[in-house]
Each structure stands twice: as C-alpha cells, then as structure tokens.
Amino acid sequence: MSPPVYGRSLRGLGVNMLVRDTARAAAFARDVLGLTVVYVDPDLAVLRHGEHEWMAHADHTYDAHALLPRTKVAALRGGGIELRVHDVDPDAAIALPIIGITGMALVSFLVLLSLPGIITGVGLIRLRPWARIAGIVLSILNLSMIPFGTVVGVYGVWVLFSKDTERLFNGPAIAVQS
C-alpha cells in the first residue's frame, strides 16, 4: 500500500513518536504495552492498539521536518510525540466551536429578549398594577411583529384595556361616606 493511500486509511486517534531505535520501541510496545506490531523497519514501526495505529519514527527521519529546530535540544531528540486525529475535516473542526458559540449567543439574546415578557407575565398572574401597564406596553410593541405578534398584541391590548381587567387590577372600590 502506498504511503498516501495508507495515510487516507487511518481513522481515530493517531500517536506518532520519535524514537532512537524503532526495533527496540516496537519490542517495548509489544511486550510492555500489549500493542500489536504491524510493521517494523529501521525508519518506522507501525503499532496497533484496537482500531488506532501508532507510529514510531526513527529520530533521523525528521531531519527535514519543519519542527526540527525545536527538537535539536539533545534531551528532546528521540523523545518527541505527536497526536493526530484522523478522518476529521479541518474546516468542520474549526466550524463546530464557532457554531456552538453563535448558538449560545443567540439563545442568550432570546432569553434576554423574553425576560420582560416573563416578568410581566408573573406580575399579571399576581395581579400587580404595574404588570397591567407593562403588559399594555409589550402588547403595543408586539403589534409590529406580523403576523403572530400582531394577533397577540391586539389580544393583549383588548384584554388589558377592558373595564373588567382595569377593575381587577385596581382592587375593590372604597366607599366614601358623606
């Protein structure tokens, strides 16, 4: 199998390690970690754990790698690791958090927009006089939201301006003695 075809066949989480000796690394992975050795040569060892394939690259195979200057320190040579997530569209990986943040902002905005109506509704249930006025204001604002807001707004204005509702929110009339 050619390297490009093999690369496209990888799935899940991939672990790439830089090692000094691929044969020793493969033996350690097999004997200590219980990994299956798929392939070994002096430059590369391919190891399998379940469905995930790990690669142990000989240190010298990264001599032309763009990250080589970061691995020149003697302590890091032969001890690097790289994690790769295979079979994931990079655009989707970037878009998903953006969609999540946008959705969260939209939900927060809608909750904030609904808050006056919720507070007014609680006040109306408790027959608070201020809630009738707030309900009238919100009903008038709803009139411009065609078609459903208009229907709700007309109904709200009709109910909240009725004499029965006005008496309900003003409380019992106090008799004046002469």
What tens-digit pLDDT sequence spans the chain (178 residues)?
777 787 777 777 778 888 888 899 899 999 999 999 998 999 889 898 887 888 888 877 777 777 666 655 544 555 567 777 777 777 777 787 888 899 899 999 999 999 999 999 999 999 999 999 999 999 999 999 889 989 999 999 999 999 999 888 886 655 556 5
pLDDT of residue 173: 53
pLDDT of residue 81: 72
Q: Return the structure tokens found at 152.
A: 């709700």
Using the CB atoms, write b or e for 101-116: b if 16+ within 10 Å. Answer: eeeeeeeeeeeeeeee
Of the candidates 24, 23, 55, 61, the residue with the CA atom closest to the CA atom of residue 41: 23
Neighbours of 71 (CB within 10 A): 18
Total-model pTM: 0.45
Residue intervals in the chain for CATH 3.10.180.10: 3-88
Ramachandran category for residue 155: left, alpha or beta (phi over 0 → left; psi -120 to 50 → alpha): alpha
CATH of the domain spanning 3-88: 3.10.180.10
